[in-house]
Amino acid sequence: MNIKHFFLYSALIIMVWSCKNSGDETNLIPLARVHDQILYSTYLDDLIPAGLSEEDSSRIARRLIEEWTRNKLFLYQAELNLPEEQKDIEKQVEEYRSSLLTFRYKQLILQENLNEKIDDQEIESYYSENLSNYILDSDLVQLRILKIPVSSPQISDVRLWYRSDREDYVSRLKAYAENYAVQYSIDDSTWVYFRDIVANTPLNIDNIERYLNYNRNIELSDSSYYYFIKINNRLKEGDIKPLALVKDNIRSVILNKRKIEFIQDLENTVYKEGISRNQIEIY
């Protein structure tokens, strides 16, 4: 498009937008043509937000018009070149519509009626009955870990504090970590995979199981940071995952099973009601 045509085109779009904003609904200004199909100005009425500047309105309108022409051109080519059997889409459209309406109805009934509350006892029962599904594939640990810049003070104190379970030492360690640590976890009740710890430290370990057999208090450093790690508890590869680690997953599994059972019951109920009310007749 040359400069002259560009300004004429922009002026036309601005004029269309001005008519739209003026409330004049009798204007049907043609904006584009693809073969025998005409795009009129009313097409833009609900697509361009109110309150935009003329420049922004013009830019959006140009994009929408180009998208319309591209889509119509492709549709024309499809109509022209596709074999007749591939253009007969009414059955597919009806099947899609039926599936979509059925899905939306089921979701609506689910939202209105499904009990999503899952108590701890149900989770624990499922866990106990399915322990074979929760076998560890790597060592799991509860630990205390700090990552501290090498320029930080009191490193010798940290070496004492992070190893100890004395309440006053733990308090000092927490206060120190809040002031100086880049990353830290003093609460050692959370289970984590030790392989994830290795991946985020300078540790280079060929055999994690063997390493953890002999190392519970770990100190290492690189050019920027000190790393202090205290292993408090450990589960080995092949052990059962602790419930705390899989609790959220079990809750999702139970809820999903409950949804499936609810939908199956709903389908059966609708079918039985249809039979009892003579709404179904099979020849």
pLDDT of residue 156: 95
CA atoms of 109 and 42, how far apart (whole Å)? 39
pLDDT value at residue 58: 87
CATH-assigned architecture of domain 136-235: Roll (3.10)
User: What pLDDT shows up at residue 219?
Assistant: 95
From first to last of the 283 residues of the chain, give the pLDDT tens digit.
444 444 445 545 555 555 545 444 455 788 899 988 998 988 888 888 888 888 888 889 899 999 999 999 998 898 888 888 787 788 888 899 999 999 999 999 999 999 999 999 999 999 999 999 999 999 999 999 999 999 999 999 999 999 999 999 999 999 999 999 999 999 778 899 999 999 999 998 989 989 999 999 999 999 999 999 999 999 999 999 999 999 999 999 999 999 999 999 999 999 898 888 888 877 7
Q: Are 231 and 203 in contact (CB under 8 A)?
A: no
Distance (Å, rounded) from C-alpha 57 to C-alpha 70?
A: 20
Q: What pLDDT is stored for residue 4 in this prediction?
A: 42
Q: What is d(CA 9, CA 175) in angstroms, rounded to the nearest whole number?
A: 67
Q: Give 218's contacts (C-beta < 8 A, 6+ positions apart).
A: 203, 227, 228, 229, 230, 231
The strand pairing partners of 231, in sequence order, are 143
**What is the distance between the alpha carbons of residues 263 and 162, in angstroms, rounded to a whole number?**
53
| Both structure tokens of 220 | 């290492």
Residues of CATH 3.10.50 domain(s) within the chain? Answer: 136-235
pTM: 0.65
- Closest-CA residue to 176 (of 228, 232, 233): 228
